[in-house]
Amino acid sequence: MAEGSSGILDAVRQRQYGDADPERIAEDLAALGRAPITPLDEEDLLEQFLTRLQVNKVDLEVAASKPEAVKRIARFIYGEYNSHRVVAGNDRRLAALPWRDGGVLVRFGAAASEDPVSISYARFGIAETGSVVLYCNRDNPAANNWLTRDHIVILEYRDLVASLEDAWTGIRADSDEQGLPRGVTVVSGPSSTGDIVGHLVKGAHGPLRLRIIFLGHIPEEVLARTGFESTPL
């Protein structure tokens, strides 16, 4: 064997057009610039995000405060499962929520197959695609994203960004500081499949429902325009 690559790299070098000068490669790459996308205005951010959530069939609740967020979660799991129990990762932001006051019993750790509801804290929300960015790491075990029937994600208004690239700017900063997490995932809806005669069915292998608890304020008219309703607590 010529080297670890079984000669594949040698073959590539012989066939490729480029001259393998790393400096030139870096220059060429930089010159390619960013993907051409239409930038979003600050005021369109929320509306775009909500419009996309609607398309992606994501459920949404708005909470003005952290205690309210917990109360809304409590009401949801009690209504759906007649239970107070959820599983959540070791995210400090999750640990700091007033769970007991809101009537939620949290097990901190990785979800097991029997857990019906998991809770994650989004690193970012992306208006362009109606997505939330979640890491797969100690703070948010990957199982919590995919094993339960209901996945609840808390998103703070200040973490909402316009585009996929904007989210990545933040992800790079995080990685530079804490190292690259095992997984970075952009979640844009509940698990779904169209594999049986193109019939779209939710809950293929992962969660049947994705519920975003939005921490912040969304004007009534934006909710109305995007087809959401504000639900009183």
Q: How far apart are CA 129 and CA 54, in angstroms?
A: 11
Q: Which of residues 18-47 bind another protein (CB under 8 A)?
A: 18, 20, 22, 25, 28-29, 32-38
Q: Are 139 and 118 in contact (CB under 8 A)?
A: no
Judged by CB under 8 A, the chain residues 106 through 125 that form the site for another protein are 109-110, 113
Judged by CB under 8 A, does residue 142 bind another protein? yes
For CA atoms 49, 216, 184, 120, give the dihedral sign.
Answer: negative
Q: Which of 50, 77, 104, 143 is the binder for another protein (CB under 8 A)? A: 143
Contact track, another protein, 176-215, x by CB under 8 A? ---xxxxxxxxxxxxxxxxxxxxx-x-xxxxx--------
When asked if residue 223 is in the footprint of another protein (CB under 8 A), the reply is no
**Beta carbon of residue 165, minimum distance to another protein (angstroms, whole number):** 6
**Piece of 97-105, 131-139, 214-222, 224-232 that binds another protein (CB under 8 A):** 131-139
The Cα–Cα gap between 86 and 89 comes to 10
Choose the stretch contacting another protein; rule: CB under 8 A; options: 63-71, 93-101, 167-175, 218-226. 167-175
The whole-angstrom separation of Cα 162 and Cα 169 is 11
Which residues from 63-92 bind another protein, rule CB under 8 A? 89-90
C-alpha closest to that of 68 among 108, 117, 115, 104: 104
Chain position carrying tokens 């009690």: 78
Nearer to another protein (CB atom), residue 102 or residue 141: 141
Q: What is the DSSP string of 156-174?
A: EGGGEESSHHHHHHHHHHH
